[in-house]
Amino acid sequence: MRRAVCPGSFDPITYGHLDIIERASKLYDVVHVAVLVNKNKQGLFSIDERISMIEETTAGYGNVQVESHQGLLVDYCRERSIPAIVKGLRAVSDFDYELQMAQMNHGLTGVETLFLPTSPTWSFLSSTLVKEVASYGGDVSHLIPPTVHTRLVERIAERAAR
Ligand code: PNS
């Protein structure tokens, strides 16, 4: 079985993430989507909510497994014998930090990182921008799946009502 992992925060999943996960799912037998827990960052969605949104939106690919992980990505890979990390590159600005992480991870355990160029349709897209635009009432319905959009609008309304 050829395995790879697509790691990230996925707060929430966007069409940019799905572009990379779908393409990885055609290259590997099993694609693990790992939601990395960042203790220092309070997300808009809980880890369980993020997982359920990813499961809903990747179910059609047929070979995607979703779970969370607290700690180093290299440990997640080692524990599951995953030899490859697949990351999307949106623009040259992503490259510096992604290269650093890829080299660090390779130096730690030998795990490889493969970069896929993000579809130009989504090259400007990030979860952070989606949340910011939506929080000011902007339309982001073309950037995230409908079920994710419904939850995002609900969550922003809940926060605003506090
Ligand atoms: O979606 P993001 O926030 O850009 O994803 C970044 C992520 C979660 C993939 C990266 O921060 C990560 O791998 N975190 C896990 C902790 C870790 O292994 N850190 C060392 C990286 S060299």
Average pLDDT score, the chain: 97
Classify residue 70 by its DSSP letter: E
pLDDT interval class at 38 (50, 70, 90): very high
pLDDT of residue 162 exceeding 90: no
pLDDT interval class at 95 (50, 70, 90): very high
Task: Report CA(161)–ligand 1 centroid distance (Å).
Answer: 32
Which residues partner with 36 through β-bridges?
A: 69
pLDDT interval class at 74 (50, 70, 90): very high
Query: Would the CA dihedral through 154, 46, 83, 123 be positive or negative?
Result: positive
Question: Whole-angstrom distance between the N-terminal and C-terminal Cα of the chain?
Answer: 48
84/88 Cα distance (integer angstroms): 13
List ligand 1's pocket residues with C-beta within 6 A. 7-9, 36, 72-73, 101, 104-105
Q: Please, is 155 exposed, middle or buried when counting C-beta atoms within 10 Å of its C-beta (0-12, 13-18, 19+)?
A: middle
Q: Which of 26, 39, 41, 162 is catalytic?
A: 41
Q: Whose CA is nearest to atom 12 of ligand 1?
A: 73
pLDDT interval class at 124 (50, 70, 90): very high
Closest CA to 18 of 121, 138, 155, 93: 121
Rg (CA), the chain: 16
| Tokens found for residue 33 | 């989507």
